[in-house]
A and B are shown apart, each in its own frame.
Chain A
């Protein structure tokens, strides 16, 4: 299945969010703007746009495990969503070779009143498995979740950690080359972290790429060999994880200043 090498290439990526206020979503405002013209129109010309990610460049090759650090709102999750293909760049390009598995949000495609098994099927379908493939792997996935009889219960009875187990099990059941992960893996218990760790190492053996956004420095040290810091949408160069302390020191200097 390896044609070209697994890789992520991002050039001059800029992402802007137009902010559609709750108010401006109403048609009346929009119509009023057209009829009233000048006054409100000027406001709408300068409509608020938030630049969430600006001029980011990065190149990742197979075997790279990138840790993304940065404050809340520094653009980590937005960058991950863009890498997953959900957000279209406003400028620049994203080029990803390889099957992507994004684990950004626990609630992806999840129906709280359906059972765990149904949710495995639903999520598996969304992640790109065929119905047949899911049936073949259902036992394996079910075992990996470690949820046992709870799989026959509706998802709304699950704790956050149990949901994380389910989500992680399904997402990694897809033979992904690129795994994008947000924080939430940290909600699992020690037991789960151990098996999750093993899965991620397995993935690494298949020469994939991992991008993990986290505030947990220890987690980054555990999984990543490279690190990048986001600050107000601007990314630092990618560094070796050994320089993580320097990067953090820079960050606190910047905060102090």
Chain B
């Protein structure tokens, strides 16, 4: 109810003021996190409105993709199916999460222009909306992840605490990338195309479908590829493999640096974003 009991809006009063307003926006978005959740839920439901399976299309289409690619590549690469299917299932599920949060991040603010230009809702609400929408998708995919891990008998080795840490590191990073994509796309309409191409390129450079050999693990293609670290930090613990410590350091530093840079940009252009739209 008390979204705005007392509202004060002023002209620019120096960077300190801009930062405190940006933090106020962030705080307000946490206070109304239920709204972001409702919007995200509405997005998922409305996409499948009128279809018989509803949101379980998410599960079904992912399941088909995992089965198709899993069996084909296992045969092509001569890798045992019970090793490859869990690997590729987790790869596709979490790659989907990473790429969708970033690609859909591009439309975070553009899509919300109607609401942003006539209410005082916090802008971060829409960032969370994009992320939560993908978390809901991930929950539908979890059926496949758990199913595959149990069916191919990997769940005994699964290191859940480390997987949880991995998921947190993953979210901490893709959330700022999503916000950055949203701000940039609001201002420059070429950004969504660029982001789309980069993500597609990254998919082939990242071991989503293929297994990196021993020597390749030191190769720049993987070491300098943030997407490899983002994927490995969640996939390896679920498969019961250990994660290279550099991955944890890399992702922690990336999250901190990324959030500081993105949040500062947000603070400085926040009042302009609504005019970009």
Interface residues of A (CB under 8 A from B): 3-4, 14, 17-18, 20, 25-28, 30, 81-82, 84-100, 102, 104-105, 107-109, 111, 113-114, 118, 121-122, 125-126, 128-131, 133, 174-175
With CB as the reference atom, state the residue of chain B lying closest to A110.
Answer: B114
Residues A26 and B190 in contact, CB atoms below 8 Å apart = yes
What range describes how many residues of B lie at the interface? 35 or more
In the bound complex, what is the Cα–Cα distance between A122 and B37 (angstroms)? 11
A44, chain B: closest CB distance, angstroms: 14
Known: A84-B119, A126-B121, A128-B1. A30 touches B10 (CB 8 A): no
Residues B187 and A128 in contact, CB atoms below 8 Å apart = no
In the bound complex, what is the Cα–Cα distance between A111 and B114 (angstroms)? 11
In the bound complex, residues from chain A placing their C-beta under 8 Å from that of B190 are 26-28
Instruction: Point out the residue from B1, B8, B35, B189 that lies within 8 Å of A94, measured CB to CB.
Output: B8
- Against A, the Cβ 8 Å flags (1 = close, 0 = not) of B1-33 are 111111111111000000000000000000000
B31, chain A: closest CB distance, angstroms: 11
Residues A118 and B8 in contact, CB atoms below 8 Å apart = no
Residues A86 and B120 in contact, CB atoms below 8 Å apart = yes
In the bound complex, residues from chain A placing their C-beta under 8 Å from that of B42 are 111, 114, 118, 122
A111, chain B: closest CB distance, angstroms: 6
B38 within 8 A of A: yes
B16, chain A: closest CB distance, angstroms: 16
Residues A26 and B188 in contact, CB atoms below 8 Å apart = yes
Q: Which residues in chain B, 99-125, are within 8 Å of chain A measured between CB atoms?
A: 114-121
22 interchain pairs, CB-CB under 8 A: A25-B189, A27-B188, A84-B118, A84-B119, A84-B120, A85-B4, A85-B7, A85-B119, A90-B12, A91-B11, A92-B11, A100-B4, A100-B7, A100-B120, A105-B117, A108-B115, A114-B42, A122-B42, A125-B34, A126-B119, A128-B1, A130-B1
